[in-house]
Structure 1
Amino acid sequence: MRRLLLFALPLALAACGTDADPNQAGPDSATGPDGASAPGVGETDVSNTGVTYATARLDPLGESSATGTVTFTETDEGLLVEYDFTGLELGEHGFHVHENGACGRGDDGTLGGAAGGHFNPYDAPHGSREGSRDERHVGDLGNITSAVGGVTGGVARGSFTDPLISLSGPNSIVDRAMMIHFKADDLSSQPSGDAGDRVSCGVVQIATAPN
């Protein structure tokens, strides 16, 4: 009898440890309910939150009143760029992604100078948005046009799709400055299209769009 009791005791203890649902991960588990790795500290699980996109809020530089937003959404053809600005002088304005994620003054005091030059990872010449990666800066997004309609100045609203800029990889515009210039970009003058002063600037930041 003593031997039977000693044999039964470990079995009883093992049975007590099976109350939890075997399919439910414990608090120290590194996987989620679908078996995928759970996000760690400082990471965000965006697998079920929708299309990846990025936004930039542009604020006036100096005495300008130009302000607004740009949204970049991934598509099969490239990034869909949607913009909405007010407070611009009427006419065309150079519209570029710059290399640095800053909008302060440059070392020489230039407004927006901290953004550096146009984003140009392939050391290409300045050109139009229609050019290939060898014919334009990746950050060359042409011009936007402001028309009558805003209380604080001209309104520029529109969209286009660009095949070069990206939200990842060597052409990523995330954490870089989006800039509007005072004059039209002539799409040919080097190194920046003779677009004049920088009048509005904001940094591109990644986000997730809801379904």
Structure 2
Amino acid sequence: MDASRQPAAEKALIDHVDSWIFDMDNTLYPARVNLFAQIDRRMEAYVGRLLGLDRDAARAVQKRYFHEHGTTLRGLMLSHGVDPHDFLDFVHDIDMSVLSPDPQLRRALLALPGKRFVFTNGDLPYAERVLGALGILDCFHGLHDIHAMAYHPKPDPRAYQDLVARFGIDPRRSFFAEDMAHNLMPAKAMGMMTLWVNNGSERGNHGHSPAFIDFETDELAVFLEGVGDGR
């Protein structure tokens, strides 16, 4: 169910927001595409090779780092001094054919007033491949990746502070959409309006609270069409 279809509230977005910020994985494409399953397997393989572990043990370490540090990469960097470029090049070597152009999302993004940004714990080359496969790469005015975050991934508040400083964003006139509910907390604390894309992501509801979630949807394009219709 799309719990966010509230015309008056959507109209308020148009009056208020001039910066539209989007997480990428499982937000700009649905979790059912299962693209991240490929990355999961690559991360397991990397951890297994690095630490000499079998698949089950490697998966346990990988998930523990993800849960404790926000990304597997951050845990590997802190615990094992892993080179982030080596890790990201390996885990993002995946098949993008599961993605296809999304004309509905493209139209909805382009109808938004103001500027649009991608805010991802992935890296720029990977983000460009994903957005290109979706046919929306040219819809964005800027991409803020894990390198630009100095490897402090969401939900670390420093990542959000670096984003707004880099692009001159006023958080009080911003909107942030994300599938991981707990990643919305720092955004709300800065004054951003928030949308939880509740579409079945792994641990997507972890830390969920109405205190920092303004809207909820299971279909981003449908929600954005409602916003664009309010102009």
Both structures adopt the same fold (TM-score exceeding 0.5): no
TM-score by length of 1: 0.22
TM-score by length of 2: 0.20
Q: Which has the larger radius of gyration?
A: 1
Which of the two has greater strand per residue? 1
Which of the two has greater helix per residue? 2
